[in-house]
């Protein structure tokens, strides 16, 4: 199917090889969309080269998407800046003539510490990217979509941590719970413009970020190895496995499609039945 022919999708935080954002763009590329790869491009506070999509990684992902037949632009963006998000939206329109789908995917999930050891700057870093970034991105996308006058789709990549608490991840869990509230409020406000806003809440997905979480929590919970920790995750899941990046990508594609035209304000669990509320 090429459901998104002549439509443009922006995915923030999509510049890391084998990351969730890359998988989302691959799905949209395969269905005909014009794709905007966007990431920070260069290290910043609490975000080293291994934690963000570098300019070189963004170009590599863009090249791979072009091999799938998509038209692609790479546009750096610091989602902590409202001005940077506004520029990303405008440059997407300049590149392809429209902005139809915006996915707030950029996130920090690698700061894992006990509550009493978590610093104010670490809290600010996580909330700044995960929640403020989604806030600024939603505003930037909505302004363009309202001006275009034909509606649009905004999708927030939340988490199972948007529904349940997790130890040693107070900033992350708080940011993802906040994203659900942002989704609901903006869905109400933007519905009159034909813009739907929804969130996707995946359970654990072993991307590069997920691998760091595996290592941390396997030690925290006393498992003899990362492999034993992953096997335990499989046993707890009704469908018998952790999530794949493609599972989240498929949910995004459905929410962006005409089949989901009457769905807004929802926070969709994509967890193999691990999360049911």
Beta bridge pairs of residue 267: 199
Both tokens of 65, joined, read 């998407």
> Dihedral angle at the C-alpha atoms of 170, 176, 179, 181, nearest 10 degrees?
-70
**Catalytic residue of the set 91, 163, 172, 229:** 172
User: What does the alpha-carbon distance between residue 83 and residue 204 come to, in Å, rounded to a whole number?
Assistant: 32
Radius of gyration of the chain (CA): 18
User: What does the alpha-carbon distance between residue 36 and residue 101 come to, in Å, rounded to a whole number?
Assistant: 10
User: What does the alpha-carbon distance between residue 108 and residue 258 come to, in Å, rounded to a whole number?
Assistant: 31
Beta bridge pairs of residue 132: none
Q: How many residues does the chain have?
A: 277
CB 119 within 8 A of CB 180: no
Query: Catalytic: 176?
Result: yes
For the chain, give me the number of helices (H) and strands (E)? Answer: 9, 7
SS3 for 19-37 is CHHHHHHHHHHHCCCEEEE
**Catalytic residue of the set 7, 163, 176, 229:** 176
Query: Catalytic: 110?
Result: no
Which positions are annotated as active-site residues? 172, 176
């Amino acid at each position: 199917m090429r459901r998104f022919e002549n439509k443009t999708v922006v995915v923030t935080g999509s510049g890391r090889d084998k990351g969730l954002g890359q998988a989302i763009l691959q799905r949209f590329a395969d269905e005909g969309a014009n794709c905007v790869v966007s990431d920070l491009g260069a290290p910043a506070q609490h975000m080293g080269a291994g934690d963000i999509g570098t300019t070189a990684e963004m170009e590599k992902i863009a090249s791979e998407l072009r091999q799938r037949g998509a038209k692609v632009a790479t546009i750096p963006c610091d989602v902590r800046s409202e001005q940077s998000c506004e520029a990303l939206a405008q440059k997407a329109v300049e590149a392809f003539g429209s902005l139809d789908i915006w996915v707030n995917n950029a996130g920090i999930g690698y700061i894992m510490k006990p509550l009493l050891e978590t610093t104010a700057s670490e809290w600010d870093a996580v909330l700044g990217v995960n929640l403020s970034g989604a806030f600024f991105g939603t505003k930037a996308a909505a302004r363009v979509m309202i001006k275009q006058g034909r509606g649009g789709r905004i999708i927030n990549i939340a988490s199972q941590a948007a529904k349940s608490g997790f130890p040693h991840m107070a900033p992350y869990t708080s940011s993802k719970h906040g994203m659900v509230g942002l989704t609901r409020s903006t869905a109400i406000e933007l519905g009159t413009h034909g813009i739907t806003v929804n969130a996707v809440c995946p359970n654990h997905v072993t991307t590069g970020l997920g691998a760091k979480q595996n290592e941390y929590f396997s030690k925290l919970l006393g498992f003899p190895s990362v492999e034993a920790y992953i096997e335990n995750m499989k046993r707890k899941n009704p469908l018998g496995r952790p999530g794949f990046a493609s599972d989240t990508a498929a949910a995004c594609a459905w929410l962006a499609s005409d089949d989901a035209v009457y769905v807004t304000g929802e926070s969709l669990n994509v967890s193999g039945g691990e999360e049911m509320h």
